[in-house]
Chains A and B, each alone.
Chain A
Amino acid sequence: MASPVVAQRPAETPARPGRRRRPGIGRRDHLIGWLLIAPAMVYFIIFLLYPALAALYYSFTEWDLHSAPIWVGLQNYTDLFFDDVKYPHFWKSIQVTLQYTLVAVPLTLVTALGQALLINAVRRGSNLFRLLLFLPVVTAEAAVGAIWRWLYDPQYGLVNAVLGLVGIPRQNWLNTPELVIPALAFIAAWQCGISMIIYLAGLKSIPESIREAAVIDGAGPVQRFFKVTVPMLRPTTFYLVVTGIIAALQVFGLVYVIFSGGGNRSVTGGPEQSGLAYVLHIYLYAFRYNAMGAACAMSFILLVFIMIITFVQFKFMKQEAS
């Protein structure tokens, strides 16, 4: 396309220092720029900025979505933290979510790293294995929940049948409070494909020369793993831990599907609220009890929590970089 003109350009450019383009096009360009971002901007204002600010406002009100919100100041927040008659399961939902995060994130990352190391170690079939291990990721959470409810079925479930082969007695996984978190964390690890892919990319970026140097220095495979691979993967691990925590704190769809049953949109959060994830708790207050103000307050507590984590991440990354 018009190569002679391209050739002329470099001679032309330095002639007008400070101004990259012809005068006059600038203002029209501004207009085009604004027009191009206009649809995204309208979306952003209506469906992101306004809702975020509105949620903050509603968190200081009592509101049922239909009548006008009533300003109550900080009462939603203080009631959530201190009134365990009004919000009996608030602390329980925090405990459940933290427990889930504490189990699911490490389990997911160890599984993902293991899978990535194994795939990285073979040439033949590595694409096929990568694909198969990735399948659970693209599965709708409604389907994931449905499938695992069937797999965890106490009487006819495949999980009990397989564990029975190695002599582990039948468990009622989703109906035993102590087993709910491990059962959910196992599903999370089953869906670790994204972390696996990112670990694979991290492994591929470790220079071959470093590995060879370690071999020459007489490091065995185990030593190489802990002295070379793990330190080199630190930024990747850090990123995955942070995003993993943020995602785990917001677990919802899966627990919603798993613990819904017996009719129309009724969800309780599992036996003795052992699966009452924080976001499920918010959902129940917002869309079942119509306590929009309290739900917004809870969601803002989560937002602050996530912002702190993100902030710490930024600090750390800056430290790493310098």
Chain B
Amino acid sequence: MNQKTVRRLPIYIALILLALVSVVPFVWMLATSFKNGPDVYTQVPQLLPLDKKTGEWNPTLGNYEYVFTISGLGTAFWNSVWITCVLVPLKLLIDALAAYAFARIPFPGRDKIFVLMLAGMMVPTITLLVPRLHVTQMLGVYDSPWGIILPNVASVLDIFLMRQFFRTLPVELEEAARIDGAGRMAIFWRVILPLSKPVLAVVTITSFIFHWNDLVWPLIVLNSPDLYTLPLALQQLASTESGRAYYIMAGAALAVVPVMIVLLIFQRRIMQGIAFSGLKS
């Protein structure tokens, strides 16, 4: 036992070092975000928010206040919150309905359509950006929140994942419900969805993280600063205030912390989901 612990010691040391490399950037981000401007730029890196001259404890929330109000990251934060909260459930519904049909309702041409959709996944996002921008302009949703929501409102990958899961559910359950007189939709709501919580959770969480973090599409489809989502506002902040790390790190913390909380709560599901979708695709 004791010998075993000794043998594992180098492994733990290596893991701790790796974990430090992984985590220290975030610690440094938070540390910088609570410092007063002059205290940030010290020759020897200083973790705690101490006054540069006197060495006294000197933390501040001023950076958060500044980016939240003056740099517009407050508006952007709420834009991101409500866009994600509309987009993710809507996307989940559209994807789940389609996935159910692809998994369980036989109709002519179904599998051909499905294969076509899967082939569409190969197209790199960058190829689609220009025509998608044009489409949003034609639909009249350019430079509006719907310009973000509509082009993201379904996902072939999520349909694929849910379809794979639905197919593992026993058909007998559905047929029993059918004989009891339940229609397709009743079966979908009362039998399939309640049994599919694991896959629904994975898809919801990964969608939330993806859309909360997405920079590229908002960058292209939004023009008015008061519509910016958080990543876009952060990018702008990083570009215009590039000399003021304390503001930028406060902005980065606003973007990072909510996702970290989601990760902490749902870590097991996320890891399972990645192992599952990663190995299957």
Q: Which A residues contact B (CB, under 8 angstroms)? A: 1-2, 5-6, 9, 29-30, 32-34, 36-37, 39-41, 43-44, 46-52, 54-55, 58, 65, 114-115, 118-119, 121-122, 125, 127, 129-136, 138-143, 145-151, 153, 155-156, 158, 161, 190, 194, 197-198, 200-201, 236, 239, 250, 252-253, 256-257, 260-266, 279, 282-283, 286-287, 292, 295-296, 299-300, 302-303, 306-307, 310
Contact = CB atoms under 8 A, between A and B. Distances in A.
Contact of A29 (B106, B248, B249, B267): B106
A136 B20 CA distance: 12
Contact of A48 (B100, B120, B209): B120
Contacts of B238: 142, 145-146, 149, 257, 260-261
| Listed residue (A36, A148, A201, A263) with the most chain B CB atoms within 10 angstroms of its CB | A36
Contacts, number: 303
B129 interface: yes
A32 B156 contact: no
A143 B234 contact: yes
Interface stretch (B54-62, B131-139, B195-203): B131-139
Interface of B: 8, 11-12, 14-15, 18-19, 21-26, 28-29, 32, 40-42, 44-45, 94-95, 97-98, 100-102, 105-108, 110, 113, 116-117, 120, 122-135, 150-151, 153-154, 156, 159, 172, 175-177, 179-180, 184-185, 209, 212-213, 215-216, 219-220, 230-232, 234-240, 242, 245, 248-249, 251-252, 255-256, 259-260, 262-264, 267, 270-271, 274-275, 278-279
Contacts of B14: 118
Contact of A302 (B21, B127, B151, B262): B127
B179 A2 contact: yes
B28 A151 contact: yes
B212 A140 contact: yes
Given A1-B180, A43-B154, A118-B18, A147 B122 contact: no
| Listed residue (B150, B156, B242) with the most chain A CB atoms within 10 angstroms of its CB | B242
A139 to B, nearest CB: 6
A142 B235 contact: yes
B130 A58 contact: yes
| Listed residue (A5, A115, A121, A147) with the most chain B CB atoms within 10 angstroms of its CB | A147
Contact of A146 (B44, B113, B213, B249): B249
18 contacts: A5-B176, A29-B106, A30-B108, A37-B113, A39-B97, A47-B150, A52-B127, A122-B8, A129-B19, A134-B263, A139-B256, A140-B256, A143-B255, A146-B248, A197-B278, A256-B215, A266-B239, A299-B126
A283 B126 contact: yes
Given A140-B231, A250-B124, A36 B105 contact: yes
Contacts of B177: 1
Contacts of B248: 146, 149-150
Given A146-B251, A156-B40, A194 B260 contact: no
Nearest to A266: B239
B135 to A, nearest CB: 6
A58 B153 CA distance: 25
Contacts of A49: 116, 120
A9 B176 contact: yes
Contact of A135 (B23, B116, B125, B180): B23
A52 B279 contact: no
A6 B180 CA distance: 10
Contacts of A279: 124, 126
